[in-house]
Structure 1
Amino acid sequence: MKKLFALTSVLLCAAFLAACCGGNKKTSAVNSKPETLARALEKADKKCRTDADCVAVNKGCCMCAGYEAVNAKSAEKIKNIWQKECALAACTMQMCYVEITPSCKDNICVGEPKPYEAYFSK
């Protein structure tokens, strides 16, 4: 009986993995940075007049890929690409310090790294 249970468990695990990973072209690699997202970031409008014109968007599927500051109007297109390309992405569990505060400097959106101490609650 124990052998039957073990064999059934192995087969169920294999079937689950095959269903999750096999044949789905939309599955992204672990910690993926899709090319379409990278191209959209390169082409994104980064012009601004005020800090409110700028927002932070993901550079990759996972938060440890970092963020980039872009014009808020460009952000919608990038967020749509991110949702499409990264919907099934797997991310490793790790702490990363990559958040930014977007602002407008010399009419270009830029991002200042969040201070290390700000990641920890007091």
Structure 2
Amino acid sequence: MVEQTDTILDTIFHALGDRTRRQMLFDLSQGARSVGELAEPHTMSLAAASKHVKVLEGAGLVRREIRGRTHLCHLDPGPLSGAHRWLSTYEHFWTGRLDVLERLLQAEDAASPNNKDGE
């Protein structure tokens, strides 16, 4: 089970690791787009855009619907919940670290000679 979950997360994070694919996912969050529409803002060929879409499909983040010659893509955000769960395990760590930083900065401000009457 853990190996399967790790493989799925690897695939998702690989898909998210590319700026173009992240932008495509964002665009799809606004509604379905054809592969051509996804390619347009990146000035890339349909073949290159299709390769990015295949990576997103492989991660389960995109569904492709074929209507004649048009390939319409839809966002499937479900797999992102697994990535979010994995990332949230580190939330406690970062919250704690930021709390320590905040206390240090407050102590530094309080000790500063420019700070009159604790302001």
Scaled by the length of structure 2, the TM-score of the pair is: 0.27
| Greater share of residues in helix | 2
Tell me which of the two structures has the higher relative contact order, counting C-alpha pairs closer than 8 angstroms and 6 or more residues apart: 1
| Greater share of residues in strand | 1
> Which one has the largest radius of gyration?
2
Scaled by the length of structure 1, the TM-score of the pair is: 0.27
